[in-house]
Amino acid sequence: MRYVIRRLSQSLIVVFGVSVVAFGMLFLTGDPTEVILRDAADHMTVEQIQEFRVKMGFDRPWYIQYGSFVGNALKGDFGYSFIRHQPAYEVITDKLPATIKLASFAFVLSLLVSIPLGMLSAIRVHKPVDHIATVLALAGQSIPSFWLGILLILFFGVHLKWLPISGSGTWQHIIMPGIALAAFPIARNMRLTRSSMLDFMQRDFVRTARAKGISETRVVYAHVLRNSLLPIVTAIGLELGFLLGGSVIVETIFGWPGVGREIVSAIGSKDFYVVQAGVIMLALIFAAVNLLVDLAYSWIDPRIRHGA
């Protein structure tokens, strides 16, 4: 219980930090009016700009502005999108399901491919299958998602015409962006599973299990795999951050209607409130998932609770 309370209080500090960073972004250039108005300021008089500044409250001290920013955010008010003619919060929440769908698909795909491949590689260590899997994993970690996305479009979309190259709607639409997004986690988790399993295969308890005459399959599944999956569970929390961040690029390439593409489009149209709302929402989702993963991890491995 003490661990849960400590971990929850850490998350609250993170939420506070996220709000400070998101709020501080407005002040990076010194004047938030400049960030919001951008090119529009060129067509306005000094009086009009000053009027806008007062109307938005940018003339007040920063701590008052931060207070009202947090107060509004708690009510779901992240400002108004002058491009979409819609509250920024709604612009983002409308796109959130698509991003979660893509990230979940990539997440499941990465686990389904990486763990069996990592296991196979560890069981057949230094055999051809291990060498092939290792080379593939190294390549998967080295090919940027946007380049892999372009290659997939070129091969499966343009030349073979098997899959749609852009948009959403059918199940075929999610395959290429899902693969592009999952490639890096597949490679990383595969290597992690392999090295973790190889590590446990050397341990005394595994040697004892073998000496007792337990079948190799049971040794691998019941003794080695169960223990070696623990470090992978920890990596999963960080993986979601990668998937949410990576979705910005993959969604843009494949025209996937999610938060990432919306953020990039909002950056292009200088729609700062939408950018800010998107970043806050993704960061909060990431922090929440990290909290859940940590709590789940402490439940799986009691040493963490006692260590705390």
Partner 1 sequence: MKVLDRPSESDAGVALDEPVASQLLVDRARRSQILPRLFRSKTATIGVIVLLLVLVAAAAAPWVAPNDPFAIKLIQRLKPPAYANSAGITFWLGTDSLGRDVLSRLIYGARVSLIVGLSAVVISGTVGLLVGLLSGYFGGWVDDVFMRICDIQLSFPTILLALTIMAVLGSGLDKLILVLGLTGWVQYGRIVRSQVLSIKNDEFVLAARATGERQWRIIFQQILPNVWSPVIVIASFTVASNIVAEASLSFLGIGVPPSVPSWGTMLADGRQYIGVADWLTIPAGVAISLTVLSINILGDWLRDYLDPRLKNIV
Integer angstrom CA distances of residue 137 from 113, 184, 186, 244: 11, 8, 7, 21
DSSP letter at 86 equals E
- Rg, the chain, Cα only: 24
CB of 212 to partner 1, least distance (A): 28
Q: Which stretch binds partner 1 (CB under 8 A): 16-24, 88-96, 120-128, 218-226?
A: 16-24
Q: Is 121 in the site for partner 1 (CB under 8 A)?
A: no
Cα–Cα dist 41/39, whole Å: 5
Helix axes 62-74, 2-24, angle to 10 degrees: 120
CB of 107 to partner 1, least distance (A): 14
Q: Is 252 in the site for partner 1 (CB under 8 A)?
A: yes
- Residues sharing a CB contact under 8 Å with residue 86, sequence separation 6 or more, in sequence order: 80
Nearer to partner 1, 18 or 41 (CB): 18
Choosing from 21, 54, 64, 70, the residue that interacts with partner 1 (CB under 8 A) is 21
Cα–Cα dist 128/31, whole Å: 60
The answer to whether 125 and 168 have CB atoms below 8 angstroms apart is no
Residues between 182 and 201 that touch partner 1 (CB under 8 A):
192, 195-196, 199
The answer to whether 23 and 279 have CB atoms below 8 angstroms apart is no
The answer to whether 177 and 256 have CB atoms below 8 angstroms apart is yes
Q: Is 151 in the site for partner 1 (CB under 8 A)?
A: yes
Q: Is 13 in the site for partner 1 (CB under 8 A)?
A: yes
Q: Which stretch binds partner 1 (CB under 8 A): 63-71, 82-90, 144-152, 211-219?
A: 144-152
Binding flags for partner 1, 36-75, as an x/- string (CB under 8 A)? ----------------------------------------
Q: Which stretch binds partner 1 (CB under 8 A): 48-56, 67-75, 84-92, 281-289?
A: 281-289
The answer to whether 240 and 286 have CB atoms below 8 angstroms apart is yes
Which uninterrupted H or E stretch holds 183? helix 175-201
CB of 270 to partner 1, least distance (A): 8
b/e code 194-203 from CB counts within 10 Å (16+ = b): bebbbebbee
Choosing from 54, 245, 296, 300, the residue that interacts with partner 1 (CB under 8 A) is 245
* Interstrand relation of 86-87 and 80-81 (parallel, antiparallel or unpaired): antiparallel
Q: Is 231 in the site for partner 1 (CB under 8 A)?
A: yes
Residues that bind partner 1 (CB under 8 A): 10, 13-14, 17-18, 21, 25-26, 28-29, 35, 138-139, 141-147, 150-151, 153-154, 158-159, 192, 195-196, 199, 231, 238, 241-242, 244-246, 248-249, 252-253, 263-264, 267-268, 272, 275-276, 279, 282-284, 286-287, 290
